[in-house]
Structure 1
Amino acid sequence: MSTPTGEVYRVDWLPGTDVLHGTCHCGAEHTAQDPVEMWEWMLAHPEGHEAREDVR
């Protein structure tokens, strides 16, 4: 899903499970079984988010 501001939210289903894996536009990641919980987490930005640090 992309917002009008160009932010990209991605939710993938992990095959063989009931688990969803979400990646926010900031790089933070979250897993949940409930789709509503996943979207609430994504849209609550920045609460509950900690962007991952790029390790190079």
Structure 2
Amino acid sequence: MTAPTGEIYRIDWVPGTDVLHGTCHCGAEHTAEDPVAMWEWMLGHPEGHTS
């Protein structure tokens, strides 16, 4: 296990939809219906953080 980095990733479900709204520790935001795609976007920092 690695030590915590202090980075906070937040994923919220948009009620009444199948949409997830993610906010990265850098402040970038992204929406997706697929949880795997959301985590790939989050953990792919900094690539993919333009959308």
After the TM superposition, which segments of 4 or more aligned residues of structure 1 sit over 6 Å from their partners?
none
Instruction: Report the aligned-residue RMSD.
Output: 1.2
Match of 1:38 in 2: 38
With structure 1 as the length reference, what TM-score do the two structures score?
Answer: 0.82
Cα drift, residue 49 of structure 1: 0.9
Match of 2:26 in 1: 26
* Count of matched residue positions in the alignment of Structure 1 and Structure 2: 48
SS in 1 for 2:46: coil
Match of 1:7 in 2: 7
With structure 2 as the length reference, what TM-score do the two structures score?
Answer: 0.90
Cα drift, residue 25 of structure 1: 0.1
